Amino acid sequence: MAKMVELVAEKHVEYIVSVEKKKDAFESVVMEHLRMNGAYWGLTTLDLLGKLQVVDQDEVIPWVIQCQHESGGFGGNIGHDPHILYTLSAVQILALFDKLHILDVAAVTNYIVGLQNEDGSFSGDMWGEVDTRFSYIAICCLSLLHQLDKIDVEKAVNYIVRCKNLDGGFGCNPGGESHAGQIFCCVGALAITGCLHHVDKDLLGWWLCERQVKSGGLNGRPEKLPDVCYSWWVLSSLIMIDRVHWIDKEKLANFILDCQDVEKGGISDRPDDAVDIYHTYFGVAGLSHLQYPGVKAIDPAYALPVDVVNRILIGS
Ligand SMILES: [Zn+2]
């Protein structure tokens, strides 16, 4: 029997902290404009591993607040243009640290409300690109802020339903090809709004579990290579529609563990590739969904630890 690789949690914590510190390193330069997303991936991973306290929140929180634009949206870094993608990451970071009360909720809400279009869809920013990813982000963000009633939820849901395909999956707009990332966004938005009855669970569950390839990893579309990040998009969707038992969980866990750099920490997209913070997050989040020992439970719709979501939504 092949030797089981274990999760090198301590190494991953060191890796994440080192990426944050090496501001001039290659990865940080690449990440410069989406530092807010990188911070969310790194910090959520630390929290899932029970190590959020290694971060100095007196450094993180003021930086997050400084990234807020006068429109209410957040940029990827200080002085950058706001986008709904960074706005959700900022809200999620504040949620992790239990700091949502310092946020100008009305300003963030106005920003997101202003991005909803007549047909119910959402644009990502003032330039107007429309994508079901942005529908999910708007709904997730406003739900975390208890402001979901400020948008036209019915229209938002109807738009998502129009993006449903004959294979049970969802695309980025009506007629767009089904893709695991897009499916996560649409199913997540429907889960948060209590509208999962629009999903054909058996049909979609079948499409999703067919994403598992021989190595145990998951791909995002037919004929594509497996990639650790799909552990998150596919598994979360399967959990939300109650079909996660249709995949081989042990094989998937081993695939993720094989993508670790066991010397320096971090997780890559596929075995032996270079690690990055994005795949480190999705790998650990995937293991969380597989109930790997020592990893906290993550909420499949909100992409935050379950205890954080409960604190916000139930107040416990
Ligand atoms: Zn990937």
Q: How far is the CA of 253 from the centre of ligand 1 (A)?
A: 16
How far apart, in Å, do the first and last CA atoms of the chain sit?
A: 44
Q: Who wins on pLDDT, 141 or 315?
A: 141
Determine contact, residues 217/181, Cβ cutoff 8 Å: no
Give the pLDDT confidence score for residue 28 in this predicted structure.
58
State which residues have CB under 5 angstroms from ligand 1, the bound ion.
Answer: 227, 229, 269
Q: How far is the CA of 278 from the centre of ligand 1 (A)?
A: 8
Q: How far is the CA of 7 from the centre of ligand 1 (A)?
A: 19
pLDDT band at residue 5 using 50, 70 and 90 as cut-offs? confident
Q: What is the CA radius of gyration of the chain?
A: 19
pLDDT digits (tens, 9 = 90+) for 169-196: 999 999 999 999 999 999 999 999 999 9
What is the pTM assigned to this prediction? 0.95
- How far is it, in rounded angstroms, from Cα 277 to Cα 267? 8
Q: How far is the CA of 283 from the centre of ligand 1 (A)?
A: 10
Question: Looking at the predicted structure, is the pLDDT value of residue 202 above 70?
Answer: yes
Q: How far is the CA of 268 from the centre of ligand 1 (A)?
A: 8
Q: How far is the CA of 232 from the centre of ligand 1 (A)?
A: 10
CATH for 9-313? 1.50.10.20
Give the pLDDT confidence score for residue 20 in this predicted structure.
75
Q: How far is the CA of 181 from the centre of ligand 1 (A)?
A: 10
Amino acid type, 5: V
Determine contact, residues 251/286, Cβ cutoff 8 Å: no
Provide the 8-state DSSP code for 68: B
Q: How far is the CA of 256 from the centre of ligand 1 (A)?
A: 12
Question: Looking at the predicted structure, is the pLDDT value of residue 316 above 70?
Answer: no
Q: What is the DSSP string of 135-184?
A: HHHHHHHHHHTT-GGGS-HHHHHHHHHHTB-TTS-B-SSTTPPP-HHHHH
Give the pLDDT confidence score for residue 12 in this predicted structure.
97
- How far is it, in rounded angstroms, from Cα 274 to Cα 29? 16
- How far is it, in rounded angstroms, from Cα 14 to Cα 214? 32
Give the pLDDT confidence score for residue 1 in this predicted structure.
44
